Amino acid sequence: MRQRDLGRGLRVSAVGLGTMGMTMAYGQSDDARSIATIQRAYETGVTLFDTAEMYNASVPGSNERLLGRAVRGFRDEVTLATKFGYDIDADQTAAPVLDSRPERIRAVVDNSLRYLGTDRIDVLYQHRVDPDVPIEEVAGAVAELAAEGKVLHFGLSEASPGIIRRAHAVHPVTVLQSEYSMFEREVEAVLPTIRELGIGLVAYAPLGRGFLTETVKPSKEYEVDDMRRFDPRWQPENFERNVAAVRELRHIAQLAGVSLPQLALAWVLHEGSDIVPVFGTRTPERIDENAAAVDAAIAPELLERVRELLPDGAFDSRYTDGHMPTSVNVWS
Ligand SMILES: NC(=O)c1ccc[n+]([C@@H]2O[C@H](COP(=O)([O-])OP(=O)(O)OC[C@H]3O[C@@H](n4cnc5c(N)ncnc54)[C@H](OP(=O)(O)O)[C@@H]3O)[C@@H](O)[C@H]2O)c1
Each residue's pLDDT, cut to its tens digit, for the chain (332 residues) gives 999 999 999 999 999 999 999 999 999 999 999 999 999 999 999 999 999 999 988 899 999 999 999 999 999 999 999 999 999 998 877 788 999 999 999 999 999 999 999 999 999 999 999 999 999 999 999 999 999 999 999 999 999 999 999 999 999 999 999 999 999 999 999 999 999 999 999 999 999 999 999 999 999 999 999 999 999 999 999 999 999 999 999 999 999 999 999 999 999 999 999 999 999 999 999 999 999 999 999 999 999 999 999 999 998 777 655 544 433 333 32
Using most ligand atoms within 8 A of CB, pick from 20, 262, 276 the residue to mutate for ligand 1. 20
Find the helix or strand (DSSP H, E) in which 122 lies. strand 121-126
Q: What is the 3-state secondary structure (H, E, C) of 212-266?
A: CCCCCCCHHHCCCCEHHHCCHHHCCCHHHHHHHHHHHHHHHHHHHCCCHHHHHHH
Q: Whose CA is nearest to atom 44 of ligand 1?
A: 18
Does residue 42 have an active-site annotation? no
**Nearest Cα to 105, choosing from 146, 158, 76?**
146
Number of Cβ within a 10 Å radius of residue 269: 23
User: What is the per-residue pLDDT for 216?
Assistant: 97
> Which atom of ligand 1 is the closest one to the Cα of 290?
31
* CB of 207 shorter than 6 A to ligand 1: yes
CA of 88 to the centre of ligand 1 (A): 22
Tell me which amino acid residue 259 is: S
Testing ligand 1's pocket by substitution, the residue of 26, 62, 176, 279 carrying the most ligand atoms inside 8 A of its CB is 279
Among residues 26, 42, 55, 222, the one annotated as catalytic is 55
Report the nearest atom of ligand 1 relative to the CA of 181: 20
Specify the ligand 1 atom closest to the Cα of 228: 43
Rounded Cα distance between 149 and 231, Å, is: 39
Closest residue by Cα to atom 11, ligand 1, is: 18
Contacts with 73 (C-beta within 8 Å, 6 or more apart), sequence order: none
16 alpha carbon – ligand 1 mean position (Å): 11
State whether the beta carbon of 324 lies less than 6 angstroms from ligand 1.
yes
289 lines ligand 1 (CB under 6 A): yes
User: Beta strand pairing status for 121-126 and 275-280?
Assistant: unpaired
Question: Which are the contacts of 323, defined by CB distance < 8 A and separation ≥ 6?
Answer: 95, 96, 128, 330
What single DSSP character describes residue 121? Answer: E
- Contact criterion met (CB below 8 Å) for 174 and 154: yes
Would the CB of 281 count as within 6 Å of ligand 1?
yes
Separation of alpha carbons 318 and 185, rounded Å: 11
Q: Is residue 148 classed exposed, middle or buried when 0-12, 13-18 and 19+ CB atoms within 10 A define those classes?
A: exposed
Q: So what's the pLDDT on residue 328?
A: 36
Ligand 1 centroid from CA 263, angstroms = 15
Strand pairing category for 10-13 and 3-7: antiparallel
3-331 architecture in CATH?
Alpha-Beta Barrel (3.20)
> Which neighbouring-strand residues pair with 80?
49
